[in-house]
Copies of this chain bind each other. A is one copy, B any other.
Amino acid sequence: MFFHRQVLQYKATPEKPDAVYARKLQEVIGGQYGEITVAMQYSFQAWNAHMPGKYRDLLFATAAEEFGHVEMLATMVAQLLEKAPVGITEDAIQKDPTVAAIIGGTDVQEAIAAGAGARPVDSNGNPWNAGYVTASGNLLADFTSNVNAEMQGRIQVARLYHMTDDPGVRDLLSFLLARDTMHQNQWLAAARELQEEGNESVPVPSNFPIKKEHREVSYQAINFSNGAAMGQGSWASGPTPDGLGEFTYIDTPPEGVPMPPPTHPDARFYGTTELPNVVEKAAGTLQDKLKKE
């Protein structure tokens, strides 16, 4: 069950409205790596978790915090929009190009659809969608996904920090940056602990029978481009991070194998097949088939 309390985790009040910035802040509400994504992702990972205990507790605990982050940012956006410009006329542009510039930079749906309110969309107005969510049931993979989400999210908040000089907005972003620091560290710690406890290891999934994969190509760094420096990295020689092999470097990909012959589905799919004379025969066959219908 979820409960709501009418307070914010941290204060979220801009010094003054800024409709252009409000649009940008939508990215961390409803973007690929916005707070809706992590709230939903941690929730579904928890609901699909196969063992009770500390890992699932951590997922539930963090999911609920993230819904509160959506709330802080939505509250902030509504205030940034409080003086959103309603309209603009040709004359206004002539007199004050600043107004026109502001109109150009806003999310016009925040005005037309939401009446100067926050929306569950990204900074280009794309509605949030669940294709952003990852929840595989395999915790090492999912915690790695979470580390990535928190990294991408913190990068975006850091960039947004430099796009405003409003002290109120910056104060909220400073708080979120700190929580992102925590969450990066927490998922890294959880991923490490999972491995130390023997629950899972690299390569994920670690209990797929190793003999069933083509081990001869499991550690080959194959260069399908022509960048000469590829062979200089730690992925081209030396022991592999999974501790099970040695990297080798293949500068030129092997020859490959012939493509299988093209398919010839049922003639009633009306695909284009073969050369003319062959087609006639096929047509003959087709005629026979179709006659029966």
Return chain B residues, CB-CB under 8 Å to A11.
257, 260
23 contacts between A and B (CB under 8 A): A2-B3, A4-B226, A24-B108, A43-B74, A44-B74, A47-B74, A50-B273, A56-B262, A61-B223, A61-B225, A63-B225, A75-B260, A79-B263, A82-B263, A87-B164, A100-B101, A101-B101, A114-B136, A117-B135, A158-B208, A175-B213, A190-B234, A198-B279
How many copies of this chain does one complex carry? 6
CB distance from A72 to the nearest CB of B (A): 9
Are A90 and B181 within 8 A (Cβ)?
Answer: no
Please give the distance in Å from A143's CB to the nearest CB on chain B: 9
Q: Are B137 and A151 in contact (CB under 8 A)?
A: no
Min CB distance A212 to B, Å, is 6
Residues of chain B contacted by A40 (CB below 8 angstroms)? 36, 120
Using an 8 Å CB-CB cutoff, how does the interface string of A11-37 with B read, 1 for contact, 0 for none?
111001010110110010011110010
Contact of B162 with A87 in the complex, beta carbons under 8 Å? yes
B102 touches A100 (CB 8 A): yes
Within 8 A of B (CB), among A189-246: 189-190, 192-194, 197-200, 202-205, 207-209, 212-230, 232-235, 240-242, 245
**Please, what's the 1-or-0 string for A267-293, where 1 marks a CB less than 8 Å from any CB in chain B?**
111111111100100010010001001
A67 lies within 8 A of B112 (CB): no
Check A144–B147 contact: CB distance below 8 A.
yes
- Which A-B residue pairs are the 3 nearest by beta carbons? A57-B227, A124-B125, A104-B104
Q: Given the complex of chains A and B, what is the CA–CA distance between A43 and B134 in angstroms?
A: 22
User: Most B CB atoms within 10 A — which of A62, A124, A194, A270?
Assistant: A270
Shortest CB distance A191–B (Å): 9
Check A65–B224 contact: CB distance below 8 A: yes
Q: A127-B129, A128-B129 are in contact. Are A190 and B97 (CB under 8 A)?
A: no
B18, A7: Cβ atoms closer than 8 Å = no
Are B64 and A4 neighbours in the complex by a CB distance under 8 Å?
yes
Inside 8 A of A241's CB, which chain B residues have their CB? 184-185, 188-189, 192
